[in-house]
Amino acid sequence: MSLKEQSILVAGGGSTFTPGIVLMLLENLDKFPIRQLKFYDNDKERQQQIADATEVILKERAPHIKFVATTDPEEAFTDIDFVMAHIRVGKYAMREKDEKIPLRYSVIGQETCGPGGIAYGMRSIGGVLELIDYMEQYSPEAWMLNYSNPAAIVAEATRKLRPNSKIINICDMPVGIENRMKDVLGLESRKDMTVKYYGLNHFGWWTDIRDKDGKDLMPELKEWVSKNGYITPDELSGAAEEEVEPSWFYTFGKAKEVQWLDPDTLPNTYLKYYFYPQDEVEHSNPEHTRANEVMEHREKNTFNECNRIADIQTAEDAKLEADEHATYIVDLARAIAYNSKERMLLIVPNKGAIVNFDEDAMVEVPCIVGSQGAEPLTQGEIPRFQKGLMEQQVAVEKLVVEAWTEGSYQKLWQALFLSKTMPNARVAKQILDDLIEVNKEYWPELT
C-alpha cells in the first residue's frame, strides 16, 4: 500500500539545524514520502541562504518535491500537513546575553535552565503561539511538531493558552542519551530498548530499560553510569569515530555525579545544572559561553557551506550532514500520518500519567502515538525526592507563563528565585532587571 505524500513546513527556515533536518527527511522518503517542502522565517536574508542550498540539494536528490521559502504566513501555512518548528527568537545574539548576564552574578548561564532559560522562554512564548495561530487559520487539519526550546516553558504556554491546538512538544536530549546507552550496551539501535521514564523536560529519570526479549538492562547501565556517566566505551578508549566537543564530554561525564543522588535511576544530563550549579559556574568562561562556540563553529560553518553549494550549484561533495538524532521527528510525524502507534518520550499534560503529581503539569513520559496524537503511558507514583524537585521546577515554569500572560514583574521575580540555580532573592532581582533591559524588544512590558 502506497503511503500518502505529505506537505511539510519547517518553521525557522533560517536555523542552523534546518539543513540537517532536510537531509534527514530526504534519507527517510521511503518511510515518510514528501510532495512539498516549505520554509518559513521572519528573517528573509538568513533563510534565503539555507533555501538556496536546499533548492540545489532537492534538484539533485528529490526533484519531485515542490519547494517554497517565504516570509509570508499565508503562503507558508496554506496546504500543509505538518509544521516542524524550531524557532529561536532573538537568535544566538540573545542566547549569548542569556548566558553571560547570570554569570556576572556567579549564577549559571544556560540556554534552557535557570535565568537564561526563563529569559529565552519569555521570548519564545509569543513566537510559538503565533505559529499555532497561523497553522490553525490556513491549515486547520495540520499538526505542529514543536522542538523549539525551552521546551518546558513553551509546552506549558501552549497547554494554558492554546489548550485545544494540535501541537506535540518533543525534545531530542533523551534520544541522544539513549543512543549513548545503546553504545554502552553494544546494541544496534536505541529502538532495541523499551524504556520507562518520567519527569519534566530536561528534568527527568529513566526507571526501567529492557531489551526486546524483556531482559532488564538497568543493572549494567547503572554500574557504567555510576563510574563513567554517559561517556561511551569507544570515547573512553579513544576509538570513537567522531570527537565529542569538550563541553559535551564534560557534561556526559558529570552525569555520574547526578546519578549518585539516586542510584536506582538514570538521570537526564541537564539535572547537573540544578544539582551542582556552583560547579557549572566554575566550569564556565563568562567571556566565552556556549553561544559563542555555536556562532564561531556551527553557525559559521553551516552558512559558509550553504553559500558554497548555492554558488557552485551542486551538493555532490557537500559537507552538510543529515541530523541522525532528528529521525525522532520523522518517527513522530509518521506515527500521526499513518497511525503507526510508535512509542516515544513526549511532553504532554500529566492527567494522571504520574499518579502523585500535578494534573496540569507538562510532563515528559512515554506515549503511544497515532493519528489522534499522543496517549501517555502511566508511570505510577514517583518517590518524594523526584516529586519535590519536580514540584519546585514546575512552579518555575508555570510562574513564567503567568508572568508573560499577565505582564507581571512580581511573578517573574518569583520564578527566577524559585529556580534551584539561584542563590537568593536579591540576586534574582538583579539578574531580572538586567534581563529586562536587554529584552525590551522581545518581552511583554512587565509592571
Residues forming the active site: 172, 270
For 150, half-sphere exposure in the C-beta direction (CA atoms, 13 angstrom radius) is 29
Q: How far apart are CA 171 and CA 13, in angstroms?
A: 19
Question: CA 272 from chain center: how many Å?
Answer: 17
Is the preceding peptide bond at 263 cis, omega within 30 degrees of 0? no
414 phi/psi in degrees, rounded to 5:
-60, -40
241 phi/psi in degrees, rounded to 5:
-70, -40
Q: Which three cell numbers stand for residue 308?
A: 558554497
Amino acid identity for residue 154 in this structure: V
Length of the chain: 447
Q: How far apart are CA 106 and CA 443, in angstroms?
A: 24
DSSP conformation letters of 199-239: EETTEEEEEEEE-TT--B-HHHHHHHHHHHTT--HHHHHT-
Give the burial class of 239: count Cβ atoms within 10 A of its Cβ; 0-12 exposed, 13-18 middle, 19 or more buried: exposed
**Angle separating helix axes 409-418 and 425-438, nearest 10 degrees:** 120
